[in-house]
Amino acid sequence: MSRRIEIELTSSRPDGSWTWRAAGAREPKGVLDGTLLSQGSKPGDVVKAEAEFDIDGITIVSITQGRVKVDKVEKIVLVGNDKPFEAVTQQLAKKDRGDRRDRGDRGDRRDRPARGDRPARDGAARDTDRRPRRDNAAGGDKPRGPRRPHFEAPPELPQRPKAKRLKAGSTNRKAVLSELPEDQRPIAELALQGMQTVRQRLKDANAALAAEGKPTMPEQSVLQMAENLLPRLRVADWLDRAEAARKDLADLDLRDLRSVVAAANDPVIERAENCRELVAELRAGLTARAEQEHLNWLGDIDAALGVGRIVRALKLSGQPPKAGALFPDELGRRLAEATSQSLVADALADRWIAVLEAVAFAPIRAQVTVTSKPETITPDLAKTVERLGALLPQIATALGITVASSNHAPKPLRAVRPPVKKLPPKPPTAPKAAVAPEATPAVAEAPAEVVTEVPESVVTESIATESPANDEG
């Protein structure tokens, strides 16, 4: 049975035969009779051939000339014009009613009743029979109601640049791993993720070996090896984080800087000679950064209070750079007075809700008082006061809203993100045509043999090397 394949002519022989191979591959290959080819064939041509496959090999029966590529380039020819270019200008005439005499003969209008003397059309009064307009005193226009109170937003304040997050490198960890024997590196990489990861991976590997009927690995030997490697790995991991923190010490987020300094309290890191100088530098930098961030925090609150951004000042006061920081009495008194003055009767209900949500989690919430009730207590406002009543009991009492005694301390509301519009699913595409097995390169199967995760196999090898020592003991 013959098949059609694409072959590439490689060379011609003196006896008139030609050598060929599969197009784009090394195999299969063979020899064909030169009389099957058309005149002008040359090495490198790709043609379609009818081939018979048998035990002795592949025999080319006939040749069909392949498609010849034609370089087709479409060109747009610009035809010139010998006429001189003349610019075009446009000027619109003003709209005019024109002479009313051009309306033509309108016929005899004797059937129209007499209107008496008509006034001239030069701006004089038209018709004296029109009913005069009544003034407001006579009950003409309806009196307008009171305007809705309008809240004018205070000016914006410049925002401080966002702090950088810690991006640790891997130089020291790679250096430690490169010094280890090849059979210990997978265990060291697992130990970097914690001993729990090593135990779980070892448990899964033993379960797989037991299912296949193979001998399992001794857990104690693997865990002991990981524990012996762990101190060096912890020091290398901390050095990578500490060097990245020192690089961005002036702009690093205080949370990341504190985590690096807190990790330096590990006895393994304290005993390391190459970490002591870096630990002292980071601790001094953390102290200076904390003092500067505290001053910036108070300055931002004072600036927001100065321009009238009460809600922003209240939110900032509840977010100190260091937990337990004392709020200044003078600044707290000013903030409480400004907050109390913003809760007035003619303020909108939304304004009341925004201020109450911010003051409930501020350090000066006990100093805020309400001198006048809002004109209208909306259901949303009443619901907000009930939710925050445990933190603002004096405001709930002033508004006459009863708060249940069993209410727990509420938490700040989270910002609601707008729903993301889902894109319609893509239409199904037609499957690609399958490639003939003969035309597929033999090396295409090689990537399937690559193993991306081999900790278990390497662990097996490492245990195999250590098991005689354990048996001897």
Q: How would DSSP label each residue in 251-281?
A: TB-HHHHHHHHHHTTSHHHHH-GGGHHHHHH
Q: Is the pLDDT of residue 131 over 70?
A: no
Q: How far is CA 142 from CA 135, 137, 139, 216, in A?
A: 11, 10, 7, 95
Please state the domain count of the chain: 3
Residues 264 and 369 placed together within one structural domain of the fold:
no
- pLDDT score, position 138: 46
Please give the single-letter amino acid code of residue 180.
Answer: L
Structure-derived torsion over alpha carbons of residues 9, 12, 16, 19, reported in degrees to the nearest 10: -50
Helices 310-317 and 329-342: crossing angle in degrees, nearest 10, is 140
Residues 279 and 320 placed together within one structural domain of the fold:
no
Residues 288 and 366 placed together within one structural domain of the fold:
no
In a domain, 371, yes or no: yes
- Residue predicted with more confidence, 285 or 106: 285
In a domain, 235, yes or no: yes
CATH number at residue 17: 2.40.50.140
Mean pLDDT over 439-460 rounds to 39
Residues 220 and 254 placed together within one structural domain of the fold:
yes
- Residue predicted with more confidence, 440 or 253: 253
In a domain, 466, yes or no: no
- pLDDT score, position 53: 79
Q: Among residues 347, 371, 398, which one ends one of the domains? A: 398
Residues 186 and 286 placed together within one structural domain of the fold:
yes
In a domain, 408, yes or no: no
Q: Is the pLDDT of residue 101 over 70?
A: no
- Residue predicted with more confidence, 297 or 66: 297
Q: Is the pLDDT of residue 2 over 80?
A: no
In a domain, 461, yes or no: no
Mean pLDDT over 225-238 rounds to 89
Count other C-beta atoms under 10 Å from residue 355's C-beta.
Answer: 20
- pLDDT score, position 90: 77
In a domain, 440, yes or no: no
State pLDDT tens for residues 421-437: 777 777 777 655 544 44
Residues 276 and 340 placed together within one structural domain of the fold:
no
In a domain, 115, yes or no: no
Residues 313 and 285 placed together within one structural domain of the fold:
no
Please give the single-letter amino acid code of residue 184.
Answer: Q
- pLDDT score, position 144: 61
Residues 394 and 341 placed together within one structural domain of the fold:
yes
State pLDDT tens for residues 47-58: 888 888 777 778
Q: Which domain holds residue 213?
A: 171-292
State pLDDT tens for residues 85-97: 777 877 777 766 5
- pLDDT score, position 301: 93
In a domain, 91, yes or no: no
Residues 240 and 329 placed together within one structural domain of the fold:
no
